[in-house]
Amino acid sequence: MTTKAIYAICLAGATASLAIGFGSGVWSLVSAQDGWIFPLVIGPYALVAIVARWRRAVSWASFLLLIAALLISVGGIAAVSSSAYRFHSLPRDRTAMDLTAIVAPIAQWILAAIIAAVLGIVAIVRMAAAKKSPTDRTDSG
C-alpha cells in the first residue's frame, strides 16, 4: 500500500512540476528540445520510486521513502510555483532565468541520492550480517 502511495505522489509531483514549469513559462529560456530539463526534474521522483520498489518489504524504509516522496514533491512544486510567480510579476525584458527552478531539482536529486545510498548501505550490512552463520562465532565458554 505504501509503495503505491509513493508511486502516486512521485507521478503527481513530477507531472505538476513539469506542467507548472513549462505552462507558466518559467523554463522559457530552455527549449523542450534541449532535453536536459526532463531528467533533471523527473529523475529524483524516478529514483525514489525505484528505491521504493526495491525496499518495499521493509516497513521503515517504505515509510522513509514516503516522507522523502512528500518532501520532494511539495518542495519541487513550491519552488517551481514561486519561480512562476516571480516570472509573471517581474518585467518582461529579463534575459536570465530564475535559478530557483533549476536549483530545486538539484536539491531533490541530492535528497533522493542520500536516501537511496543510506538504504543501500543498510541492505548491504544486513545481507553481510545474515551470511554469518552461528558456527562462525566463537564462544568464550
Q: What is the pLDDT of residue 133?
A: 55
- Predicted TM-score (pTM) of the model is 0.78
Work out the pLDDT band at 85, boundaries 50, 70, 90. Answer: confident
Of 120, 114, 74, 81, give the one whose Cα is nearest residue 100: 81
81: Cα separation from own chain's centroid: 17
CB 52 within 8 A of CB 6: yes
Per residue in 10-33, pLDDT (tens digit) is 999 999 988 888 787 777 666 656
The pLDDT value given to residue 113: 93
Where b means 16+ CB within 10 Å and e means fewer, 19-38 reads ebbbebebbeebeeeeeebe
Give pLDDT, residue 114. 93
